Structure 1
């Protein structure tokens, strides 16, 4: 569980789509306030999914080889296979000019509630689902497992938190440096999506198969 959550949380926080949108949001009027609404909604989505899993299991991991355990591994295997197929498909797609979505131009007039809704829409739900399936093995009577779940949610939010704090403390410097970062993300968006999808997908497939047969 611990390594699964580390791999998935890192991939979520490095995703280029939500990071690019968040940088644009920070550069808009009231960007720090909108960014905070985005972060709170983003973190809440992750925490609520984990909480739902804990309510389902009662905080006790299912026995290895039981139906719930096998189902969780099957979910991770399916998500991993889907990510590998998706990454391979995008890798074979011919390169073309990057065209930002039209809605990005409307971030300046975004309300806090809309920013929160955008966090829900930009959440990489396939990876969040894989994280939830991994959390099924958490035993809440263990301090280490509890800290791992909290750490996973924080890790998956880390890039947003760093940019939010940086912008709040040094607005001028943040505008310049985050602008360069967004340019780099836009230029390398396809490579990042492909690599993150393949790395996480291959890990989930390999680890899930190993656990299913062991």
Structure 2
């Protein structure tokens, strides 16, 4: 479970779309507050998903080859295959023009509530779903599993935390460097999505198959 969460959490935090939107929020009016609203909402989303899974499992990992463990493996397999197919499709598709989507121009006038809602909209739900399927194996009587769940949430939010703290500590320098990062993300967005989709998709496919046959 731990390594699966490490892979999924890393892929979530490296996603280019939410990072680009977050940088735009930070550079807008009241950017630090909007960034904090986005960050907290993003983290709350992950916590809520994990809490729902643990409520369903009772905090005890299901027996191997039981209905819950088989369902979790099937979910991981389905998401993995879907990510691989999506990555292959994006790889063959002609590259799109660089630049942010038109809706990002409205972020300067976004409210704190809008910034918080945007975090839920930009969550990579396929990866969050894979994380939820992995959390099915968590044992709340184990301190190691508690640390793994906390580490997963923090890892999936790490990029946002670093950018928020950087902006608070050195706003002038951070603004220039984060805008340069946003430009790079926009220019390489397609390649990043393809790479993350294929790597995580293949990993989830392999772990899903292993969970079904082992």
Alignment partner of 1:204 is 2:165 = no
Q: Which runs of 5+ in 1 are unaligned?
A: none
Q: Is the Cα contact below 8 Å between 2:70 and 2:211 reproduced in 1? A: no
DSSP 3-state at the match of 1:60: coil
**Runs of 4+ that moved beyond 6 A:** none
DSSP 3-state at the match of 2:40: helix
Partner of 2:101: 101
Alignment of 1:155-194 (within 5 A): 155-194=155-194
Deviation at 1:102, TM superposition (A): 1.2
Deviation at 1:98, TM superposition (A): 2.0
Partner of 1:44: 44
TM-score (norm: length of structure 1):
0.99
Aligned residues: 214
TM-score (norm: length of structure 2):
0.99
Q: Is the Cα contact below 8 Å between 2:77 and 2:208 reproduced in 1? A: yes
DSSP 3-state at the match of 1:98: coil
Q: Deviations over 1:151-190 (max 9, x none)?
A: 1011000000000000011000001110110111011100
Q: Is the Cα contact below 8 Å between 2:80 and 2:200 reproduced in 1? A: yes
Q: Which runs of 5+ in 2 are unaligned?
A: none
Alignment of 1:44-193 (within 5 A): 44-193=44-193
Deviation at 1:99, TM superposition (A): 4.1
1:95 and 1:185 map into 2 onto residues whose CA distance is 14
Deviation at 1:147, TM superposition (A): 0.7
Deviation at 1:96, TM superposition (A): 3.3
RMSD: 0.7
